């Protein structure tokens, strides 16, 4: 049913291995464990936003759908530039 080896289940049951410990470690490193396990992203309401992020999202939601699409394209383009090292502001 779970596609794990028989001895793996035994290790979990007798405390030799703990998937929860691993998941706690990767969560502490910033990974979205809910997404890793379920494939479903964590709702924004459950994330910790800075005051700046909150204002940006609040203002984003005030725009009409066409403007939201344009904003998303701009922000995505900027993020790609930063990832590729093309941002000179740093």
pLDDT tens, residue by residue, 1-54? 456 677 777 777 888 888 888 888 888 888 888 888 888 876 666 667 788 988
Q: Does residue 65 lie within any of the structural domains?
A: yes
User: Does this model's pTM top 0.95?
Assistant: no
Residue 90: inside a domain, yes or no?
A: no
Question: Domain check: are 35 and 54 in the same one?
Answer: no
Residue 79 lies in a domain: yes
Number of domains present in the structure of the chain: 2
- Residue 66's domain spans which residues? 48-83
Decide: 34 and 42 in contact? Cβ < 8 Å. yes
**Residue 88 maps to a domain:** no
φ/ψ (deg, to 5) at 76: -65, -45
63 located within any domain: yes
CA nearest to 60, candidates 71, 75, 50: 71
Tokens of 72: 């998303």
Shared-domain flag, residues 38 and 60: no
């Amino acid at each position: 049913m779970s596609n794990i080896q028989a001895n793996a289940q035994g290790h979990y049951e007798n405390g030799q291995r703990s998937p929860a410990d691993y998941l706690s470690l990767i969560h502490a490193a910033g990974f979205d464990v809910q997404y890793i396990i379920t494939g479903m992203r964590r709702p924004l309401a459950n994330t910790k936003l800075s005051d700046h992020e909150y204002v940006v999202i609040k203002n984003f939601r005030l725009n009409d759908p066409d403007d939201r699409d344009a904003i998303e394209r701009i922000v995505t383009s900027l993020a790609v530039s930063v990832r590729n090292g093309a941002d000179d502001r740093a």
